[in-house]
């Protein structure tokens, strides 16, 4: 059962995605805004994604411009324009030219970042990053974050299926973590295999920025720095 939700936050905000104190791994994403509003709404995207490995002081910052590796002694800048691999102690960075980057920590935790380029003169859209984190990652039991929280999948029950306002999108009730949520059948795009069109992944869409499905409010996951851990509220 796939579940999806949008976080409607603001450009500049940094969202914590994975926070694992025990292993020392942090994954954060900073948002950028579209060039202008669409339907009275400014869409946001990831403009920078940072993977930090605290025990060795290693940090990888991927933006739509370039990739910066920092080992605590200095910065190394890598370009999206070439296929390359770099290893800093327990952290491996692999870049596929103009396509994607994978950061692997201790061969246990990996994060894939996809580069999405848009036509420069597009009136609305901007270049942005996509993020894919595999289920097989081996975190410690205390992992947190908008994605880390779901490494232990909650028990979910969906029932009371009925037609919604849009006949293409069925509605239902979801029971999760003691909450009853109204959910809508929809789909999201997965761009890992088809870079241009993406493939549709059908999912139960949770409204109100994931309220009732994520722990607490999404604003709890806003952190001050690109390498900050999630602070429990």
- Residue 56 burial (10 A CB sphere; 0-12, 13-18, 19+): middle
Dist. CA 106–CA 82, nearest whole Å: 24
Q: What's residue 196's pLDDT?
A: 76
Dist. CA 55–CA 24, nearest whole Å: 6
Q: What's residue 233's pLDDT?
A: 63
Q: What's residue 189's pLDDT?
A: 85
Low pLDDT (below 50) residues in the chain? none
Q: What's residue 212's pLDDT?
A: 94
**pTM of the prediction?**
0.93
Q: What's residue 1's pLDDT?
A: 78
Query: In terms of DSSP bridges, do strands 199-206 and 3-5 run parallel, antiparallel, or are they unpaired?
Result: parallel
Is residue 220 helix, strand or coil?
A: helix
């Amino acid at each position: 059962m796939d579940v999806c939700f949008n976080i409607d936050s603001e450009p500049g905000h940094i969202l914590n995605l994975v926070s694992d104190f025990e292993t020392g791994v942090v994954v954060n994403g900073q948002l950028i805004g579209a060039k202008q509003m669409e339907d009275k709404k400014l869409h946001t995207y990831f403009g920078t994604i940072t993977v930090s490995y605290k025990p060795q002081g290693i940090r990888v910052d991927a933006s739509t411009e370039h990739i910066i590796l920092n080992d605590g002694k200095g910065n190394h800048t890598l370009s999206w324009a070439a296929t390359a691999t770099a290893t800093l102690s327990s952290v491996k960075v692999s870049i596929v030219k103009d396509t994607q980057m994978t950061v692997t920590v201790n061969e246990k935790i990996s994060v894939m970042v996809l580069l999405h380029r848009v036509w420069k003169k597009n009136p609305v859209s901007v270049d942005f990053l996509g993020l894919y984190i595999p289920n097989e990652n081996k975190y410690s039991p205390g992992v947190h974050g908008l994605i880390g929280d779901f490494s232990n999948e909650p028990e979910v029950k969906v029932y009371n299926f009925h037609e919604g306002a849009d006949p293409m999108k069925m509605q239902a009730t979801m029971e999760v973590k003691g909450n009853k949520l109204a959910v809508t059948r929809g789909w999201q795009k997965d761009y890992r295999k088809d870079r241009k069109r993406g493939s549709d992944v059908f999912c139960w869409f949770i409204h109100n920025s994931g309220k009732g499905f994520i722990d607490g409010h999404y604003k709890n996951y806003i952190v001050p720095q690109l390498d900050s851990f999630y602070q429990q509220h």
